[in-house]
Chains A and B, each alone.
Chain A
Amino acid sequence: MSMLNFMKASMKRGDPVIRIAGEGGQGVVTVGELLDKAVAQIGLHVLTESTFTPEIKGGDVMFQLTASPVPIPSQGDRLDILVALNDRGYRANKGNLVPGSVLIYDHEDTRPEGLDGVILYSIPMSDISRSLGSPLLKNMVALGAVAQLFSIPMNGLQEQIRKRFSKKDPFVLRTNLGAFEAGFTYAGEQIQKQDLYYLITPGEKRDDLLLMNGNEAIGLGALIAGCRFYAYYPITPATTIGDWLTSRLPEVGGAIIQAEDPIESASLAIGVSYAGTKAMIGTSGPGLDLMQECIGYAGMAEIPIVIVDVQRVGPGNGIATQCEQSDLLAAAFGSHGDLPKIVLAATDVRDCLDLTIEAFNLAEHYQVPVILLSDASLSRRRQTIPRPRLPEIRIIPRTRYDPAPSSYARYQVTRDGISPMSLPGQSGGEYIATSLEHAETCSLGDGPQGHTIMTDKRFRKLDALEEDFLPLEREGPARAEVGIISWGATQGAVREAVQRFRQIGADVAALYPKLLWPLPVKALETFAASVNKVVVVEANKQGQLAGMIRACTRLEPHRIQTYNGVPITAWDIFGKEGLL
């Protein structure tokens, strides 16, 4: 970590990383979300990370906020300010404190030791909280102290507290505001500020930023794309997509069903889409496995559906609240048979929104299942994104059958493989959707030769996908020593690592694919030809993307992998021995 310490130069820093830690039931996330809103409200970009163990109450919880005048690629590997709401929060996070960083704690429950150079501020959080009549107000006292010490606008926070508690008993609002103000005052009067952190005020005020987490962004993206049906079986960390859509889908004429199992949710979506309404289902790894039969059906019967897999640590029940990128193979190869389908992976919250819209466009255009991969960290990450400009967003409808005097052939073999689709209600377009191998007219029994023709037709739909889809982003010099390929949320950490490499003059480039299946082979090979060494970075044991690249290209990539349940950091890459 010496490099990091070195980079922590002794100058004022206006983009602090603040972490609040404690245990379930202490309101860690509550104050975190007040803080991120107040910070975003002044026009700064924010990115939050929160982790908790799966217990509902009493597990470790932490919420971390990064603020900056410019967009933030990842949660980073820096910690500037740790607010420990109890000893447990202190112990779980003290390893991240370095000289110059700040610890806010309560002397009553926590005795920091061996923290050379760490600036210590003790605030009697418990005492103040109790004096206001409840031991549960420590979080608000801490929030007040943080606001005071790091110049976070007090009125913004007060406004957020009012909003948050306005629907509750006025007593609750009063005590929470009181605790916040008491913490603010105490820190102002009793703490001698020794650190160099403060919150910068942005040069130009932006009011076009929205703040949401990855799952909310998926829900909003779906609504924008015209999705009017969502079905799900509750599973962490995907459930909150359904929570968000429950009240909102009906408001735009849609329907949402909490199904009896993931298979039912997938079957419902297939029926809905067959009848002409855009449909999405959401799940996490184990649910994706259960949906695979339906995904195969949708591919064979050529019914568009969008499947969201918010990945968590697997296999089996794994660790439901922690993140991993280990469902790529299941997403790309999970269903039996020769099946054309598309797999996309979101990098950040903005991508959760954009790629959900794109997933619908691809599903509808090609009449295939599209799987969008997100992960547990993105599901909870709250991030500012530019407000989508609705009229400018491209929405691609499916190719519809135009009733003609000639008889309808649903699975007509066309040059691009896309066959016009009729919808029930349309006279003259009656047909039977089927996953039995069929001829153009849905008849059966054309034998192996027919199967060859129809398989080719179905796969032909994706021939031009790499060209049609969003261009891949490449970063770094045109020729470089090392070229990093990554996917999903890991790309944020890679961006940070590449910045650091370039600061020290290292010759590193990166490629950021979002389309993972079919693999964008041309782009990968072009990129590889421009570097001497290809490295694939991903959060799984098997090197799933690296393996796919080996299988589909001539490349033999090096690998950086973590599988510790937390997002990869820039340091995991930058600090990797022997990379350069």
Chain B
Amino acid sequence: MGLKYRTEYRTDRKVTWCPGCGDFGVLDALCDAFSRTGLDPAQTVLVTGNGCSSMIGFFVKTYAMHGLHGRALPMAWGVKLANPSLKVIVAGGDGDAFAVGAGHLVHIARRNPDLTYLIMDNGCYGLTRGQPSPTARRQIMAGENGVGQPINPVALLITAGATFVAQGYSEDPKSLRLLIQEALNHRGFAVVNILSSCPTFNRQDEASLNRPEFLYIETTSHPVHDRLEALRLAMTEEDRPRVGVFYRKKRGVPDERPKGAGSEDRRDDLTRLGEMMDELRP
């Protein structure tokens, strides 16, 4: 059964983020989306990686796994494979998604399991005191030192095969909540890359994010089912970040277990096991 108020989804654990951290906005929007979608905490699993943003699982009253840095996606898919009736949400930072976990991200995207993935993208590793991550905008300046140019998360996800790709902003909780709700309602791999801030360590990107104007994607004119158009939009260089749904497509999800989801030790199928042993008779 879902809970009525978003505050009911919060545990009473003390939130440990720095004041002004973008992750607060994501936590609020997520709980709000949970209550509006009516998610039953017992039937919901929030799987995270490791890092500042991955602490979010401690603050939400669902089942949760605080996983390993970069491994949240396969762990979450494992949960879903074992029990397809669960709602499985993955959350973590940009280091999780695009650095140590980049391999998993690409392959989970092309497989399209029914997972919702929230990336809290603040361009840095906050927990280890602010080293640039693969999405650090400031890398444009550091490019000549071999750091390279930043990843374009939306373009990467569209090409890899994600079937719902959106971008949100942590300081715009209402539109973020709506995007999360849309992602939760999508069947398949749905990703919201959330531009977020780390006021403690990433002042450069923080400044660029703090400008109030965003470019909102026109839902009426953007052909959201057209992959090439979505990619074009994602690759178009603009002075302000775009927010909204870039791409949405229906595509099959991997086979789910036909039966026995989350079951007890089952010793049924004895007949089938007997037949398998018959096949091994010389």
* Residue ranges of A at the interface with B (Cβ–Cβ < 8 Å): 36-41, 207, 209-212, 216, 220, 223-224, 226, 228-229, 248, 250-255, 257, 259-261, 263-264, 267-279, 293-294, 297, 301, 364, 384, 387-388, 390-391, 395, 397, 423-436, 442-444
Residue among A37, A252, A444 with the most chain B CB within 10 A? Answer: A252
Q: Given the known A-B contacts A211-B280, A255-B255, A426-B42, are A271 and B82 also in contact in the complex, defined by CB atoms under 8 Å?
A: yes
- Interface set, chain B 203-230, CB cutoff 8 A to A: none
| Shortest Cβ distance from B68 into A: residue | A297
The answer to whether B58 and A395 touch across the interface, beta carbons within 8 angstroms, is: no
* B260 contacts across to A, CB distance below 8 A: 228, 253-254, 277
Any chain A CB within 8 A of the CB of B13? yes
The answer to whether B74 and A264 touch across the interface, beta carbons within 8 angstroms, is: yes
User: Of B71, B80, B86, which contacts A267 at CB under 8 A?
Assistant: B71
| Shortest Cβ distance from A37 into B: residue | B282
Q: Given the known A-B contacts A41-B282, A276-B82, A424-B42, are A267 and B74 also in contact in the complex, defined by CB atoms under 8 Å?
A: yes
CA of A548 to CA of B278, assembled, Å: 42
The answer to whether B68 and A425 touch across the interface, beta carbons within 8 angstroms, is: no
* B86 contacts across to A, CB distance below 8 A: 275, 424-425
The answer to whether B257 and A254 touch across the interface, beta carbons within 8 angstroms, is: yes
CA of A40 to CA of B67, assembled, Å: 49
The answer to whether B63 and A220 touch across the interface, beta carbons within 8 angstroms, is: no
* B67 contacts across to A, CB distance below 8 A: 267, 270, 297, 435
| Shortest Cβ distance from B71 into A: residue | A267
User: Of B43, B104, B257, B282, which contacts A211 at CB under 8 A?
Assistant: B282
Which secondary structure dominates chain A's binding surface? Answer: mixed
Interface size on B, residues (CB 8 A): 57
User: Of B75, B103, B263, B267, which contacts A261 at CB under 8 A?
Assistant: B103
User: Of A384, A397, A427, A434, which contacts B66 at CB under 8 A?
Assistant: A434
CB distance from B271 to the nearest CB of A (A): 10
The answer to whether A397 and B82 touch across the interface, beta carbons within 8 angstroms, is: no
* Residue ranges of B at the interface with A (Cβ–Cβ < 8 Å): 13, 40-45, 47, 57-58, 61-68, 71, 73-83, 85-86, 103-104, 107, 255, 257-267, 269-270, 272-274, 276-277, 280-282
The answer to whether A271 and B65 touch across the interface, beta carbons within 8 angstroms, is: yes
CA of A193 to CA of B272, assembled, Å: 47
CB distance from B60 to the nearest CB of A (A): 9
The answer to whether A390 and B273 touch across the interface, beta carbons within 8 angstroms, is: yes
Q: Given the known A-B contacts A271-B78, A424-B42, are A263 and B71 also in contact in the complex, defined by CB atoms under 8 Å?
A: yes
The answer to whether A252 and B280 touch across the interface, beta carbons within 8 angstroms, is: no
* A36 contacts across to B, CB distance below 8 A: 282
The answer to whether B83 and A424 touch across the interface, beta carbons within 8 angstroms, is: yes
The answer to whether B103 and A268 touch across the interface, beta carbons within 8 angstroms, is: no
The answer to whether B42 and A444 touch across the interface, beta carbons within 8 angstroms, is: no
CA of A207 to CA of B67, assembled, Å: 49
The answer to whether A384 and B78 touch across the interface, beta carbons within 8 angstroms, is: no
CA of A270 to CA of B43, assembled, Å: 18
* A297 contacts across to B, CB distance below 8 A: 67-68, 71
Residue among A252, A294, A424 with the most chain B CB within 10 A? Answer: A424
CB distance from B78 to the nearest CB of A (A): 2
CB distance from B170 to the nearest CB of A (A): 22
The answer to whether B65 and A432 touch across the interface, beta carbons within 8 angstroms, is: yes
The answer to whether A226 and B266 touch across the interface, beta carbons within 8 angstroms, is: yes
CA of A364 to CA of B264, assembled, Å: 12
User: Of A38, A387, A424, which contacts B43 at CB under 8 A?
Assistant: A424
* A426 contacts across to B, CB distance below 8 A: 42
User: Of A255, A279, A395, A436, which contacts B267 at CB under 8 A?
Assistant: A395
User: Of B41, B64, B83, B103, which contacts A260 at CB under 8 A?
Assistant: B103
| Shortest Cβ distance from A247 into B: residue | B276
Which are the 9 A-B pairs with shortest beta-carbon distances?
A: A271-B78, A40-B282, A267-B74, A275-B82, A434-B66, A432-B64, A271-B75, A277-B82, A427-B42
The answer to whether A271 and B269 touch across the interface, beta carbons within 8 angstroms, is: no
CA of A62 to CA of B127, assembled, Å: 56
CB distance from A475 to the nearest CB of B (A): 29
The answer to whether A274 and B42 touch across the interface, beta carbons within 8 angstroms, is: no
* B65 contacts across to A, CB distance below 8 A: 271, 274, 301, 432-434
Residue among A37, A397, A423, A435 with the most chain B CB within 10 A? Answer: A423
The answer to whether A424 and B77 touch across the interface, beta carbons within 8 angstroms, is: no
The answer to whether B269 and A433 touch across the interface, beta carbons within 8 angstroms, is: no
CA of A275 to CA of B86, assembled, Å: 9
Q: Given the known A-B contacts A226-B266, A253-B269, A264-B107, are A436 and B42 also in contact in the complex, defined by CB atoms under 8 Å?
A: no
User: 30 A–B contact pairs at CB < 8 A?
Assistant: A37-B282, A38-B282, A40-B282, A209-B281, A220-B280, A224-B273, A228-B266, A252-B273, A253-B258, A253-B260, A253-B269, A254-B260, A260-B107, A264-B104, A268-B78, A271-B76, A272-B82, A273-B78, A277-B82, A294-B68, A297-B68, A424-B44, A424-B262, A425-B83, A425-B86, A427-B40, A429-B42, A430-B64, A433-B64, A434-B66
* A259 contacts across to B, CB distance below 8 A: 74
CA of A113 to CA of B207, assembled, Å: 86
CA of A249 to CA of B16, assembled, Å: 44
The answer to whether A248 and B282 touch across the interface, beta carbons within 8 angstroms, is: no
User: Of B68, B78, B264, which contacts A269 at CB under 8 A?
Assistant: B78
The answer to whether A428 and B83 touch across the interface, beta carbons within 8 angstroms, is: no
* A432 contacts across to B, CB distance below 8 A: 57-58, 63-66
Q: Given the known A-B contacts A211-B280, A425-B86, A428-B42, are A272 and B258 also in contact in the complex, defined by CB atoms under 8 Å?
A: no
Q: Given the known A-B contacts A260-B103, A430-B61, A431-B63, are A212 and B270 also in contact in the complex, defined by CB atoms under 8 Å?
A: no
The answer to whether B78 and A272 touch across the interface, beta carbons within 8 angstroms, is: yes
Q: Given the known A-B contacts A257-B81, A260-B107, A261-B103, are A267 and B75 also in contact in the complex, defined by CB atoms under 8 Å?
A: yes
The answer to whether B79 and A274 touch across the interface, beta carbons within 8 angstroms, is: yes
CB distance from A507 to the nearest CB of B (A): 40
CB distance from A279 to the nearest CB of B (A): 7
The answer to whether A268 and B63 touch across the interface, beta carbons within 8 angstroms, is: no
| Shortest Cβ distance from A427 into B: residue | B42
CA of A302 to CA of B264, assembled, Å: 18
| Shortest Cβ distance from A278 into B: residue | B265
| Shortest Cβ distance from A442 into B: residue | B58
* B272 contacts across to A, CB distance below 8 A: 251-252
CA of A428 to CA of B282, assembled, Å: 51
The answer to whether A433 and B66 touch across the interface, beta carbons within 8 angstroms, is: yes
